């Protein structure tokens, strides 16, 4: 991804929710945590689990395959077995449009 792309509307993502969005062949996890939007690689770096199918509890998303947890504000691992942080995407809001782009 070389530029910012509209992926959602702010109306689609209430605080405490997450959504899978796709840009080309990239799967991105879009998260609204306490009114702040974050975008991460959607695939768990441990075993490829789909984080959008996991649970969002507070500031942590849990992978449904092996229970790895990640802080949605930093992308860092909070509980293994994963050892690598999530890849970050930049997020911009323009009016009601949510755009993601390279970190």
CATH node for 5-102: 2.102.10.10
Name all contacts of 28-35 with Cβ < 8 Å and 24+ positions apart.
28/89, 28/100, 29/61, 29/86, 30/91, 30/98, 30/100, 31/56, 31/61, 31/72, 33/59, 33/72, 33/73
Domain ranges of the chain: 5-102
Distance CA 25, CA 13 (A): 22
Burial level of 38, CB count in 10 A (0-12/13-18/19+)?
buried
> Structure pTM?
0.93
Residue 94: predicted pLDDT: 96
pLDDT at 19: 97
Q: What pLDDT, on the 0 to 100 scale, is given for residue 1?
A: 61
pLDDT in tens, 60-100: 999 999 999 999 999 999 999 999 999 999 999 999 999 99
Closest CA to 29 of 41, 37, 47, 17: 41
Could you give the count of Cα atoms lying within 13 Å of 97 in the half-sphere of its Cβ?
7
What mean pLDDT, rounded, does the chain reach? Answer: 95
Q: What's residue 10's pLDDT?
A: 95
Mean per-residue pLDDT for 15-39?
96
């Amino acid at each position: 991804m070389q530029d910012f792309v509209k992926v959602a509307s702010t109306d689609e993502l209430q605080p405490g929710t997450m959504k899978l969005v796709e840009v080309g062949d990239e799967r991105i996890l879009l998260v609204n945590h306490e009114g702040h939007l974050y975008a991460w690689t959607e695939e768990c770096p441990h075993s490829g689990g789909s984080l959008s199918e996991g649970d969002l509890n507070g500031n942590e998303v849990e992978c449904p395959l092996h229970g790895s947890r990640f802080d949605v504000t930093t992308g860092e691992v909070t509980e293994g077995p994963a050892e690598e942080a999530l890849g970050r995407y930049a997020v911009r809001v323009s009016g009601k449009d949510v755009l993601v782009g390279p970190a």
